[in-house]
């Protein structure tokens, strides 16, 4: 953890050095102008010393300012990212889609992290720009008129540039996306291509939009060239308007030569008004980033209690539990007791609340009303360590994390050892295919393309250590029928653990001691499968699921 200290002191350093630079930058043209006048009068004077001092300030303070402007956001961004990652993990997947969270961590936090620097620089950046206009006015009011006329032209030209490019850029990006899509398809279809021996044809096919891309690319440059030409014209003209007016004032004796030189520089400095807008744009972006970060950080995450579960058989009770998803109740006032040590199936049509029931039982979510207890202890009061030891969950589509296959399985275990991981793999019938991987358990996860069934088996192995309750949220749906039968046999056999099995297949429900049948968020019935099977409504639950 990085304390707030270094960041705050860097921001102070930034403000001080940026302020010094701004003042020096603003004062320098005048000082140089006065020095020139001194020199023309052949007298070395205090202004030369002033110029030396101001340039010395710039030489020292400018690099320090840039250093601080780089350091402060690095500290702040890292701090925000740490909090953001931790909090989204605590929210357990409810922070949003992974892509969205990653974008908030990467760009949202970075934008927000630049907030302090952006604000300091935007405010201080006003000093030279506004100061330059003021300085022109101080030298002679008429200089400001010439300067402003030029500035109006610049903004008009910049505006036109934005309008011009968008169409070309859009067509360019479309051609680019077309190539990317073709390439993605070809790579995904690589087995077909390899077998058909059509690599050269496919390369040509992917590159078919290339001429269009190239033509649009050249066109972008032509558009850009036009505005570059305009820009190249406005810069000197703006300067010229100041010089011309200054020249006449010089002739009239209202301006010294040195002041004319200063006016030329103030004219250029004042043109930085565009950068001013950009500076405040960065502040706005930082605020938007901060909002994106806060949207996650402001969400309450479940907290763990201090208690350890007392010894018990693993009896699971729901007491008047209501759970809502996006405000809509998905479980309504559900009360039930699942006796310890038994396999129990949870069935129901999609949307009946099966998965919510499963995630409440595993304390992945908390009920909006009522409570869920394991062996008499409300799950909200149990410590994370105790939960890890006692409860395991396996999902339909497990997401595996870890450097290697073995590490992914070890994630849930308290003190993973090769033999504990191996035992879990064997129990979940994952040992055979893992042993065929290039480095067995040590095979990097990233290099292991897994089928749905293989992932499910690893997901099951990961949860296998649970002592008291194992929740299977449709966790065997992708297994081939033989493997599923073997695993269910293990779960429903001699095990002393409570198993809560969300099932879509009738065969799975048939293998459990009893079935909790959910309908529209309520318990419709609790009974053995064979008993329920006589009810046509119950059979209809499995209707579309013949295989």
Partner 1 sequence: MSPDSGSTARVAGRETAAVLRRHRRAVGSLLAWSVPEAAPAMLTGFVVARAVDDGFLADRPWTGTAWLALLVAAAVLGAWGARNTHRAVAGVVEPFRDDLTRRVVAAGVTTAARHAGTPATDGAVARLTNQVEGVRDSFAGLILVSRGFVVTVLAALLGTASLAPSLLLLVAPPLLGSIVMFSVALRRGVRRQRDFLYAGEQLADRTAAVTAAARDVAACRATERAARYADEAITAQARAERALARLAAVRSLTVAVGGWLPLLAVLAGANWVTGRGLSTGALIGVLTYLAQVVVPTLDMFVQTVGSAGLRFVITLDRLVRRIGQRATVAADPGPSARRPAGSRLELRGVTFRYGAAARPVLHDFDLTVYGYDHLAVVGPSGVGKSTLAGLLCGTIRPDDGEVLLGGVPIEELEPAARARHRVLIPQEAYIFPGSVADNLRYLNPGAGEQDLLAAVDVLGAGALLERLGGLGGEVRPRELSAGERQLLTLVRAYVAPAPVAVLDEATCHLDPAAEERVERAFAARGALVVIAHRISSAMRSRRVLLLDGDRAMLGDHRSLQAASARYREMTGYWTAASEPAGAPGPVDGVDPAVRADLRRDAGQPVAHRTG
Stretch that binds partner 1, among 284-292, 323-331, 419-427, 526-534 (CB under 8 A): 526-534
51 binds partner 1 (CB under 8 A): yes
Stretch that binds partner 1, among 128-136, 157-165, 281-289, 525-533 (CB under 8 A): 525-533
Which residue in 12, 52, 156, 278 binds partner 1 (CB under 8 A)? 52
In angstroms, rounded to a whole number, what is the distance separating the alpha carbons of residues 343 and 262?
Answer: 88
Query: Helix, strand or coil for residue 288?
Result: helix
537 binds partner 1 (CB under 8 A): no
Which residue in 148, 156, 170, 192 binds partner 1 (CB under 8 A)? 192
In angstroms, rounded to a whole number, what is the distance separating the alpha carbons of residues 331 and 47?
Answer: 81
467 and 328 Cβ atoms separated by less than 8 Å: no
Rounded least distance, CB 283 to partner 1, Å: 20
Rounded least distance, CB 294 to partner 1, Å: 17
Q: Residue 221, exposed/middle/buried by CB under 10 A (0-12, 13-18, 19+)? A: exposed
392 binds partner 1 (CB under 8 A): yes
Which residue in 388, 420, 423, 520 binds partner 1 (CB under 8 A)? 388
In angstroms, rounded to a whole number, what is the distance separating the alpha carbons of residues 440 and 456?
Answer: 17
Pairing of strands 343-347, 498-502: parallel
Query: Helix, strand or coil for residue 372?
Result: strand
In angstroms, rounded to a whole number, what is the distance separating the alpha carbons of residues 439 and 144?
Answer: 75
125 and 275 Cβ atoms separated by less than 8 Å: yes
Query: Helix, strand or coil for residue 522?
Result: strand
Stretch that binds partner 1, among 137-145, 146-154, 186-194, 370-378 (CB under 8 A): 186-194
Rounded least distance, CB 140 to partner 1, Å: 14
> Quick one: tokens of 150?
């030029």
Q: What is the signed CA dihedral for 334, 337, 342, 343, rounded to 10 degrees?
A: 0
- Contact flags string 474-513 toward partner 1, x per CB under 8 A: ----xxxxxxxxx-xx--xx-----------xxx--xxxx
Rounded least distance, CB 543 to partner 1, Å: 10
Nearer to partner 1, 6 or 134 (CB): 6
156 binds partner 1 (CB under 8 A): no
CA-wise closest residue to 460 among 494, 510, 497, 425: 425
Q: Which of residues 433-462 bind partner 1 (CB under 8 A)?
A: 433, 435-440, 443, 449, 451-454, 459, 462
CB atoms closer than 10 angstroms to residue 411 = 13
Stretch that binds partner 1, among 61-69, 129-137, 147-155, 277-285 (CB under 8 A): 61-69
Which residue in 411, 418, 496, 540 binds partner 1 (CB under 8 A)? 411
Q: Which of residues 237-296 bind partner 1 (CB under 8 A)?
A: 237, 239-240, 243-244, 247-248, 250-251, 257-258, 260-261, 264-265, 268
Nearer to partner 1, 106 or 149 (CB): 106
13 binds partner 1 (CB under 8 A): no
Q: Which of residues 326-385 bind partner 1 (CB under 8 A)?
A: 333, 335-339, 341-344, 362, 364, 384-385
In angstroms, rounded to a whole number, what is the distance separating the alpha carbons of residues 464 and 449?
Answer: 22
Cα 509-510-516 angle, rounded to 5 deg: 40
Rounded least distance, CB 428 to partner 1, Å: 12
Q: Which of residues 200-239 bind partner 1 (CB under 8 A)?
A: 202-203, 205-207, 210, 213-214, 217-218, 221-222, 224-226, 228-233, 235-237, 239
> Quick one: tokens of 82?
């740490």
Which residue in 8, 82, 282, 299 binds partner 1 (CB under 8 A)? 82
Q: Please give the backbone phi and psi of residue 523, each rounded to the nearest 5 degrees, phi first.
A: -80, 120
Q: Which of residues 83-102 bind partner 1 (CB under 8 A)?
A: 85-86, 88-95, 98-99, 101-102
Rounded least distance, CB 9 to partner 1, Å: 14
Q: Please give the backbone phi and psi of residue 399, each rounded to the nearest 5 degrees, phi first.
A: -105, 120
Find how far residue 380's CA is from the centre of its chain.
Answer: 29
> Quick one: tokens of 207?
């590159």
Find how far residue 438's CA is from the centre of its chain.
Answer: 33
Which residue in 149, 156, 170, 194 binds partner 1 (CB under 8 A)? 194
Which residue in 13, 16, 23, 64 binds partner 1 (CB under 8 A)? 64
In angstroms, rounded to a whole number, what is the distance separating the alpha carbons of residues 536 and 540?
Answer: 6
E strand segments, 199-251: none
120 binds partner 1 (CB under 8 A): no
Rounded least distance, CB 77 to partner 1, Å: 7
Rounded least distance, CB 123 to partner 1, Å: 20
In angstroms, rounded to a whole number, what is the distance separating the alpha carbons of residues 353 and 355?
Answer: 6
Which residue in 4, 46, 70, 277 binds partner 1 (CB under 8 A)? 70
Rounded least distance, CB 421 to partner 1, Å: 13
Rounded least distance, CB 121 to partner 1, Å: 13
Binding residues with partner 1: total (CB under 8 A): 188
Scanning the structure block, which residue is given the tokens 């002041």? Answer: 259
> Quick one: tokens of 55?
């340039």
CA-wise closest residue to 387 among 495, 468, 497: 468
Rounded least distance, CB 271 to partner 1, Å: 11
Query: Helix, strand or coil for residue 320?
Result: strand
Measured CA distances, 240 to 39, 153, 234, 280, 289 (Å): 25, 13, 10, 29, 41
């Amino acid at each position: 953890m990085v304390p707030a200290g270094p960041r705050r002191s860097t921001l102070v350093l930034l403000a001080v050095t940026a302020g010094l630079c701004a003042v020096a930058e603003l004062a320098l043209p005048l000082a140089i102008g006065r020095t020139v006048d001194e020199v023309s009068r052949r007298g070395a004077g205090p202004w030369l010393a002033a110029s030396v001092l101001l340039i010395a300030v710039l030489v020292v303070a400018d690099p320090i300012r840039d250093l601080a402007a780089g350091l402060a956001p690095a500290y702040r961004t890292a701090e925000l990212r740490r909090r953001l990652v931790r909090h989204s993990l605590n929210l357990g997947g409810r922070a949003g889609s992974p892509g969205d969270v990653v974008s908030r961590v990467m760009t949202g936090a970075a934008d927000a992290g630049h907030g302090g620097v952006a604000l300091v620089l935007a405010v201080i950046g006003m000093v030279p720009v506004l100061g330059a206009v003021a300085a022109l006015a101080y030298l002679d009011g008429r200089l400001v008129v010439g300067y402003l006329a030029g500035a109006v032209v610049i903004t008009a030209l910049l505006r036109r540039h934005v309008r011009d490019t968008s169409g070309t850029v859009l067509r360019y990006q479309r051609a680019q996306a077309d190539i990317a899509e073709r390439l993605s398809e070809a790579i995904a279809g690589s087995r077909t291509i390899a077998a058909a021996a059509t690599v050269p044809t496919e390369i040509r096919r992917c590159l078919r939009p290339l001429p269009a891309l190239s033509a649009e690319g050249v066109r972008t440059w032509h558009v850009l060239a036009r505005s570059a030409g305009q820009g190249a014209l406005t810069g000197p003209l703006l300067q010229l308007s100041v010089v011309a007016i200054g020249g006449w004032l010089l002739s009239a004796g209202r301006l010294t030569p040195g002041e004319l030189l200063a006016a030329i520089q103030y004219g250029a400095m004042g043109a930085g008004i565009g950068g001013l807008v950009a500076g405040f744009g960065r502040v706005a972006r930082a605020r938007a980033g901060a909002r994106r970060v806060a949207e996650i950080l402001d969400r309450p995450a479940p907290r763990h209690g201090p208690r350890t579960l007392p010894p018990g058989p693993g009896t699971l009770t729901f007491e008047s539990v209501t759970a809502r998803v996006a405000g809509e109740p998905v479980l309504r006032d559900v009360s039930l007791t699942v006796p310890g040590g038994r396999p129990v199936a949870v069935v129901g049509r999609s949307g009946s609340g099966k998965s919510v029931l499963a995630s409440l039982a595993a304390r992945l979510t908390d009920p909006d009303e009522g409570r869920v207890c394991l062996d008499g202890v409300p799950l909200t009061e149990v410590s994370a360590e105790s939960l890890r030891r006692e409860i395991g969950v396996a999902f339909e589509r497990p997401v595996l994390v870890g450097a290697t296959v073995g590490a992914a399985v070890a994630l849930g275990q308290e003190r993973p050892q090769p033999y504990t991981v191996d035992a879990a793999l064997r129990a979940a019938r994952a040992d055979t295919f893992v042993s065929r991987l290039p480095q067995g358990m040590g095979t990097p996860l990233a290099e292991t393309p897994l089928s749905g069934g293989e992932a499910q088996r690893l997901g099951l192995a990961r949860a296998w250590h649970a002592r008291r309750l194992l929740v299977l949220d449709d966790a065997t749906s992708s297994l081939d029928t033989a493997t599923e039968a073997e695993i269910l046999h293990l779960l429903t056999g001699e095990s002393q653990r409570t198993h809560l099995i969300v099932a879509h297949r009738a065969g799975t429900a048939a293998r459990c001691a009893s079935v909790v049948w959910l309908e529209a968020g309520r318990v419709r019935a609790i009974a053995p499968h064979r008993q329920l099977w006589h009810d046509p409504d119950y059979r209809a639950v499995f209707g579309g699921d013949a295989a």
